[in-house]
Structure 1
Amino acid sequence: MEQQKQHIVIRGCGVISPLGFDAASIAQAYLNGTPAFTQIPHQGTPTPVAALPAAAELQLQQLVHANPTYKQLDRSVLLAMYAAKQAASQAGWLQENFTSDDDLAVNIGSSRGATGLFEQHFEAFQQEQLSSSASPTTTLGNLSSWVAHAVNAGGAQISHSITCSTALMAVANGVAWLKAGMAKRFLAGGTEAPLTDFTIAQMKAVSIYSKLYDHPYPCQPYAQEKQNTFTLGEGAAVFALEQINQPKAGAVCIEAVGLGFEKLTSKTGISAEGLNFQKAMRQALAQLPEQDRSVDLIITHTPGTRAGDKAELTAIQAVFGSNLPSLTTNKWLIGHTLGASGALSMQYALHILQRQHVPSLPYPHLLVQQPALRYRRIMINAAGFGGNAASIVVGIL
């Protein structure tokens, strides 16, 4: 008797980003195709960023005021908690007045962690006014432990950083834990709140930050500009994952997970051939059914850096050859959210699969797309400093 196939189903998705505070508001933003960028003064220079809109900020502040303890937490932790509660509620897992669920595990990642709070505490340290809360509130472990408290999860609580691949690595970990039987349900995702003086300064120091502060599209993936257009954004997305034998029609499943690494050849770990991307994509494709390893669309990492964007496109060409799928990205709308970017790209994939809608790219020098008649399978790419990359394939039943 043939063994019944197990599916990793996305039972819920929570999200907060420069486009909105739930699936409905963000779907409308994608339909409108309006970029979320504003400009702020940074070190005397106008600087483009993508921050939460007023409606999303109001939602986040309501969470903060729901519990006096939350006021001591970093913004990255609050974003993760907001998204996780939304995902757990959508999945039917949010039972706040009951004892903790030991079969519910959590893995939340961030590239930078409690950046804003750390900067505040360091400034206080320089003035010899350091608070006793500095250490416990700035550890990376806050991400998963506070999320676990917020959703009453009693299983594993994992926080990690693998730079900008972080969120997809968290999802990959969730898939592995579910398949291994080490958890029955899993919340996985990424969060980032990098719109701080020091973080922006770091990105400028690498000479990748966009100077197009007065342009409606300061972040231009695929563009032929003779400059980098990397622009920071903030946000979080978390997914409620469960292994199910017979999912309902229309369910979105994680079909494959691929990881890739390459030896460091530069500060950012990017080779011209995008070897890390190639390895991740090939590994993911190899996990699909042998008779059907096609994908209809790739949501690329492409943060608007000349070297990084070119390397990823070169890698895609090497892997897919003449069967090149359509390509798209959401960074022209929300910028690069570092450790949360893969999760927000994955939420974008859910939007496309469920609504069959891909916004056009209105800024100059577009990458030509050939739309599919129906999007049924999407690959999401992410890569980060250190030579790492991840590819996840999601499909709709």
Structure 2
Amino acid sequence: MTSPDTAADLIVIWGRGRVSALGTAKEWNEPLTSPFSTHPNKLPVAALPVAAEEALAELRASHSAYRQLDRTVLLALLASRQATAAAGWAPESTPNPSTEPATRNQKPETRNQLAVSIGSSRGATGRLEQFHAEFLSEGSVPAAASPLTTLGNVASWVAFDAGSTGGAALSHSSTCSSAFQALGNAVAWLRAGMAKRFLAGGTEAPLTDFTLAQMQAIGIYSPLAATDWPCRPGAGRPSTFVLGEGAAIFALERLSGAAWAEAGRPELPVLEGVGFGFEALGSKTGLSPDGQHFQQAMRHALEQARALPAHIDAVVLHSPGTPAGDAAERAALRAIFGENLPPLLSNKWLVGHTLGASAALSLDFALYVLETQQWPVARFASDLAAASPKPIRRILVNAAGFGGNAASVVVALLPDQP
């Protein structure tokens, strides 16, 4: 395991922000009723609640340039502002957030230290569909259509809003593991000394007619009503995949072991490992029954963390509620951990599957569990844990996507306890 006394550096999570069907609160409290709603096309979805919609509308109106941005970008901006505020990265003189980006007056030497790495499976989904519909109707598109729908505009707008003037702005797309691809890139840059601070995570706003129709066409969408907790990871058949929207962003910084000791050995959430796995399959929506890419990703993450499977106290699953996907991930877990698996956790039954944002929201959920030692208990029969037999200090988080890619993260609280 990573030892802060000997580690050359630690990747510390100073702050985090999130927005989902549960709103923007830091707590993952169990709602009394299902947070899912019914889309106009009659499918259950995990859409933002009223308060979060109001925050998004306020953000859109806060800057003239933001009025044209896709919902995916705005979700990332909202979560990023929370992360920077939680990290204490706000400037000495903060301008009015209703009129200017949050850190516009920050000193240039501080702004240049901040880089951005954001994952999104589909990027500007809503605006792309809107521009395409206009093209089919009118035969032309506005000049802004291309820059507003490129994936790179997600990270670049987050960087602009955060006041970064010289730091990298990186956008990633690898389907549903996109957020961890972005996180892994940020960690590599930090460890290489190519950046001093990073905002990294994932964002997705896929609740559009065309995207929902695509998910339904695959044959995996949940038949359950929105009020009946329609997304049920680990519950078996039928498939209970439900699409959601949201974002989660993390404020990361490299901290030397010596600096950690000088700071009084504070208890901090630390990214100990980010691992990746890939398998080439004939079906780009399928995966091997034993989850080979999951196995590779978990082994890679554990190796980076210098941890054994026995050091993992819980696993936050990718588990989208599809029978084949859920079974393959559990087969991969048994290959790594044996038959006695650590407690299995999931947040998708609360926020749905948010595609490129799902891994980031899972990591945010894992950090909540580490901090509070509690989590909401599923309202349906499944293999998800209701409690842990011991304190949870280290969590493995999984993610996977179409195309045979998977990613895993090991996150822990320091100081480490034997």
**Alignment TM class, shorter chain as reference:** over 0.9
Give 1:360's match in structure 2, choosing from 377, 380, 384. 377
How far does residue 30 in structure 1 lie from its aligned partner after superposition? 2.1
Query: Do 1:345 and 1:380's aligned partners in 2 also have CA atoms closer than 8 Å?
Result: yes
How far does residue 215 in structure 1 lie from its aligned partner after superposition? 4.8
Change (3 A) 1:77 1:214: closer
AA in 2 matched with 1:358? W
Distance in structure 2 (CA, Å) of the matches to 1:148 and 1:252 = 24
AA in 2 matched with 1:136? P
For residues 78-97 of structure 1, what are the alpha-carbon distances to aligned partners after superposition, in whole Å with 9 as ceiling and x for unaligned? Answer: 00011112111221223321
Match of 2:94 in 1: none
SS in 2 for 1:302: coil
Distance in structure 1 (CA, Å) of the matches to 2:220 and 2:384 = 21
Distance in structure 2 (CA, Å) of the matches to 1:83 and 1:215 = 27
Query: Do 1:189 and 1:239's aligned partners in 2 also have CA atoms closer than 8 Å?
Result: yes
Q: Does 1:80 align with 2:62?
A: no
How far does residue 256 in structure 1 lie from its aligned partner after superposition? 1.1
Query: Do 1:299 and 1:327's aligned partners in 2 also have CA atoms closer than 8 Å?
Result: yes
Q: Does 1:325 align with 2:348?
A: no
Distance in structure 2 (CA, Å) of the matches to 1:214 and 1:93 = 39
SS in 2 for 1:201: helix
Task: Count matched residues.
Answer: 388
For residues 342-384 of structure 1, what are the alpha-carbon distances to aligned partners after superposition, in whole Å with 9 as ceiling and x for unaligned? Answer: 0000000111011111221121344455613211001100000
Match of 2:99 in 1: none
For residues 285-314 of structure 1, what are the alpha-carbon distances to aligned partners after superposition, in whole Å with 9 as ceiling and x for unaligned? Answer: 122336785100000000111111110011
Query: Do 1:34 and 1:333's aligned partners in 2 also have CA atoms closer than 8 Å?
Result: no
Change (3 A) 1:69 1:303: same
Distance in structure 1 (CA, Å) of the matches to 2:269 and 2:308 = 20
Q: Which runs of 5+ in 1 are unaligned?
A: none
Q: Does 1:162 align with 2:158?
A: no
Give 1:125's match in structure 2, choosing from 129, 135, 144. 135
Change (3 A) 1:198 1:99: farther
Q: Does 1:152 align with 2:163?
A: yes
For residues 227-274 of structure 1, what are the alpha-carbon distances to aligned partners after superposition, in whole Å with 9 as ceiling and x for unaligned? Answer: 211100000000010011243422100011111001113231411110
Note the 1:206-285 alignment, pairs <5 A: 206-213=218-225, 215-225=227-237, 227-245=238-256, 246-247=259-260, 248-285=265-302
Match of 1:69 in 2: 65
Percent of counterpart pairs with the same letter?
Answer: 52
Match of 1:171 in 2: 183
Q: TM-score, normalised by structure 2?
A: 0.89
Match of 2:121 in 1: 111
AA in 2 matched with 1:8? I
AA in 2 matched with 1:113? G
Out of 51-60 and 93-102, give the one that drifted further: 93-102
Q: Which runs of 5+ in 2 are unaligned?
A: 92-102
Match of 1:287 in 2: 304
How far does residue 102 in structure 1 lie from its aligned partner after superposition? 1.6
Distance in structure 2 (CA, Å) of the matches to 1:366 and 1:107 = 34
Out of 206-215 and 109-118, give the one that drifted further: 206-215
Match of 1:13 in 2: 16
Give 2:204's match in structure 1, choosing from 186, 189, 192. 192
Out of 111-120 and 356-365, give the one that drifted further: 356-365
Moved beyond 6 Å, runs of 4+ = none
Distance in structure 2 (CA, Å) of the matches to 1:286 and 1:38 = 41
Q: Does 1:338 align with 2:358?
A: no
